Amino acid sequence: MRLAGKVAVVTGSTRGIGRVIAEEFAAQGARVAVVGRDVARGRDVVDCIELAGGDAAFFPIDLADEQATVGLIDSVVARWGHVDILVNNAAPTDALADKVDGPLTELSTQRWRRLLTVGLDAVFWATGAALRSMKGTGGGAIINITSLAAIRGLGGLDAYTASKGALTSMTRSIAVEYAPFGVRCNAIVVGLVPVSENPNSMVNDPANAEALTAFQLTRVGTPRDIALGAVYLASDEAAFVTGAELVIDGGASVKLALPVVSRVT
User: Domains of the chain, with CATH numbers?
Assistant: 7-248 (3.40.50.720)
Residue 114 has pLDDT above 70, yes or no: yes
Catalytic residue of the set 25, 59, 125, 160 = 160
Cα–Cα distance, 38 to 132 (Å, whole number): 28
CB of 117 closer than 8 Å to CB of 185: no
The pLDDT-based confidence of 137 (bands split at 50, 70, 90) is very high
The confidence score (pLDDT) of residue 171 equals 97
Largest CA distance in the chain: 61
Residue 229 has pLDDT above 70, yes or no: yes
Residue 259 has pLDDT above 70, yes or no: no
Q: Which residues of 69-95 are buried (b: 16+ CB within 10 A; e: fewer)?
A: bebbbeebbeebeebbbbbbbbbbbeb
The pLDDT-based confidence of 66 (bands split at 50, 70, 90) is very high
Cα–Cα distance, 207 to 166 (Å, whole number): 32
The larger pLDDT score, comparing residue 133 to residue 262, is at: 133
Burial of 58 (0-12, 13-18, 19+ CB in 10 A): buried
Among this protein's residues, is 160 annotated catalytic?
yes
Kindly state the average pLDDT of the residues 205-211: 61
How far is the CA of 244 from the CAs of 1, 73, 175, 222, in angstroms?
A: 24, 24, 9, 21
The 10 Å Cβ neighbour count of residue 43 is 14
- Tell me if residue 32 falls in helix, strand or coil: strand
Kindly state the average pLDDT of the residues 156-173: 89
Kindly state the average pLDDT of the residues 100-110: 80
Cα–Cα distance, 104 to 108 (Å, whole number): 9
Mean pLDDT of the chain: 88
Kindly state the average pLDDT of the residues 231-255: 94
Q: What is the pTM of this model?
A: 0.90
CB of 228 closer than 8 Å to CB of 24: yes
Cα–Cα distance, 73 to 9 (Å, whole number): 8
Cα–Cα distance, 1 to 246 (Å, whole number): 22
How far is the CA of 83 from the CAs of 2, 138, 168, in angstroms?
A: 16, 10, 22
The confidence score (pLDDT) of residue 199 equals 47
Lowest model confidence (mean pLDDT) among 80-94, 113-127, 166-180, 246-260? 246-260
Kindly state the average pLDDT of the residues 48-76: 96
Nearest to 37 by CA among 56, 71, 17, 11: 11
Supply the angle between the helices 66-80 and 122-137 in degrees, to the nearest 10.
Answer: 30
Residue count (the chain): 265
Angle in degrees, CA 221, 223, 226, rounded to 5: 85
The pLDDT-based confidence of 14 (bands split at 50, 70, 90) is very high
Kindly state the average pLDDT of the residues 1-17: 96
The pLDDT-based confidence of 41 (bands split at 50, 70, 90) is very high
Work out the percent of the chain whose per-residue pLDDT is above 90.
Answer: 64
